[in-house]
Amino acid sequence: MMLPLSVGIHTLLLGVACVAEGDPVLGIPAQLQGRRGDIIRELGPLLSKDATIVLPLSSEAEPLLIRAATPRISPDYKAIVEVATEQDVQQTIKYANLHKTPFLAVSGGHGWPTTLNGVKAGIQINMRKMNHTTLKRDGRSASIGAGALQHEVIAALFSHGKRAVTGLCECVSAIGPLLGGGHSMIQWRYGFAADNLVSARVVLADGRAVDVAADKNSDLFWGLRGAGHNFGIVTSFVVKAYDAGDTWTLITLTFTQDKLEVFFETWNMLEKAHPDRGMLVVIGIMARNDDIDPENPVINLQLIYEGRNDAADLYAAAFRKLEPKADSTLQEISWGDLFTAGGFGLTGPICRKNQNILGYPNSLDKWDVDAMRAAFGIFSDLTSEELFKTSAMLLESYGQQGARAVPEGSNAVAPEERRRHLLTSPILWWMGDDAAARKRAEDYGAGIQAAVRKGAGSAEPHAYVNYATGCEDFGEVYGREAPRRSKLKALKAKWDPQGQFGFYMPIE
Ligand SMILES: Cc1cc2nc3c(=O)[nH]c(=O)nc-3n(C[C@H](O)[C@H](O)[C@H](O)COP(=O)(O)OP(=O)(O)OC[C@H]3O[C@@H](n4cnc5c(N)ncnc54)[C@H](O)[C@@H]3O)c2cc1C
Ligand SMILES: *[C@@H]1O[C@H](CO)[C@@H](O)[C@H](O)[C@H]1NC(C)=O
């Protein structure tokens, strides 16, 4: 399970990928690895006219190097290739292979597992120029460029009265969440983002480009949906499209911490009473709000639902009985505006960049009140430090139905991800590059995770792959069934025999 957190440089040299030793100064400076400019001269002529190659010390590189979770997550690059076509991706991979250079695709730049720091003197393949969203003529599916961000996809489809299953945060790519499953506002009806993939174009480790769908390279199609960071670079993909639906209501209730026990008891009671509650998303966020409680974090609850929904009325009434300190409602929110209204917008704090994001996830099927109290205590200590004050503890429930309607074996999304519908994780945010601060963050985060796990009884822990720290074992993120494990390993051996796609929760 958890590895010891205090591992030194010697372990880095042994190549243990999960430890947080990503500091580029420990490696050989990228610019000494080869003569600067060689790549521009050699690869440049092979690329399309819209592609660009940027060297890491140039001023154009800065925005391409800042990730959501820098400096903690800082893959080390000797060049960045902004690809504009599938052939650009192929040429770049072939060039990297020729020079025995690692490479990493970047779309939204929000991934945070420490395994990403395994990239040393590599080539960043930046996908952002491949950002199209095109609705197919019959309106039932859409083709998306793998560099498109969620807000671009939502806006493009909504302009045709349509939507697709994407994540919640506008700044994240559409492909990133999908490759690991993809939790969504409309998951209750349509399942995970991965469950809605129709086909993909994928460039493999040797530079070949292939079609992937139910009837084309179907084994890869299975693996791409859930373990999809392990096999190739998706250049474009087709997902199911649906009508944009009714308008939404957003109720926000804020509770002080003395209500914590009744809050989680009420949540459990409601989920038991209304297992099929319709398109109602329940999201709690524990965070500091000094206006409401200067001493302790508070619990914010969002009830977000489409159209009229009787279960939502019952949820709201039951939580209101707990006497929230703040209570507000927004109505008639269109699908196109929902993400900004809910606080998931491009300019919202959740989308901030260049802070050391770190998560410690658990998936559960009900809340354990004592465990959540213990976790809250550690979270309270964490956020009493000024440095970590803006951290949050996520409590997410998208409803069971959509994810469970899809048979467990039908793609690589872990069965535990379908069965355990509650997703909780502290999301630690802090600034700067201080090693002692990072160690404290890791200790707090692991402490919160362990406290939550104590409440799960004998159930083996499950961590959502897209929220993982990088230190989890295989079964914890990809599922524990032996046949599934062999299947994933066989796929890895077939499609990525050299392990070139090994920087994001690698199957190894
Ligand atoms: C603010 C925030 C909000 C989030 N919200 C949600 C959410 O609502 N639902 C949810 O399920 N998850 C969510 N996540 C987690 C999210 O799924 C992961 O962080 C995801 O990896 C981000 O994808 P990205 O493209 O933005 O990041 P990147 O770091 O660019 O990519 C992540 C990984 O995918 C690989 N990759 C990128 N593009 C491709 C490609 N075209 N082909 C193959 N591999 C590729 C990268 O190499 C990297 O290893 C959120 C994370 C953050 C930080
Ligand atoms: C989207 O793609 C187009 C075409 O490649 C490109 O010109 C544009 O800069 C891209 N958008 C972003 C934000 O990168």
Rounded to the nearest angstrom, the distance between the alpha carbon of 82 and the centre of ligand 2 is 10
**pLDDT tens sequence across 132-150:** 999 999 999 999 999 999 9
The DSSP element (H or E) to which 266 belongs, if any, is helix 260-273
Rounded to the nearest angstrom, the distance between the alpha carbon of 168 and the centre of ligand 1 is 12
Show the 3-state SS of 258-321: HHHHHHHHHHHHHHHHCCCCCCEEEEEEEEEECCCEEEEEEEEEEEEEECCCHHHHHHHHHHHC
Rounded to the nearest angstrom, the distance between the alpha carbon of 229 and the centre of ligand 1 is 10
**pLDDT tens sequence across 435-460:** 999 999 999 999 999 999 999 888 89
Q: What is the pLDDT of residue 23?
A: 40
**pLDDT tens sequence across 327-366:** 999 999 999 999 999 999 999 999 999 999 999 999 999 9
Q: Report d(CA 140, CA 157) in Å as an integer.
A: 11
> Helix (H, G, I), strand (E, B), or coil: what is residue 351?
helix
The DSSP output letter for 125 is E
- What is the pTM for the complete model shown? 0.94
Please give all residues whose beta carbon lies within 6 A of any atom in ligand 1, as ranges.
Answer: 68, 104-111, 127, 146, 167-169, 172-173, 175-177, 179-180, 182-183, 229, 233-234, 350-351, 357, 466, 503-504
CA angle 101, 106, 111 (to 5 degrees): 110
Q: Report d(CA 369, CA 321) in Å as an integer.
A: 18
Q: What is the mean pLDDT of residues 11-21?
A: 39
> Helix (H, G, I), strand (E, B), or coil: what is residue 468?
coil
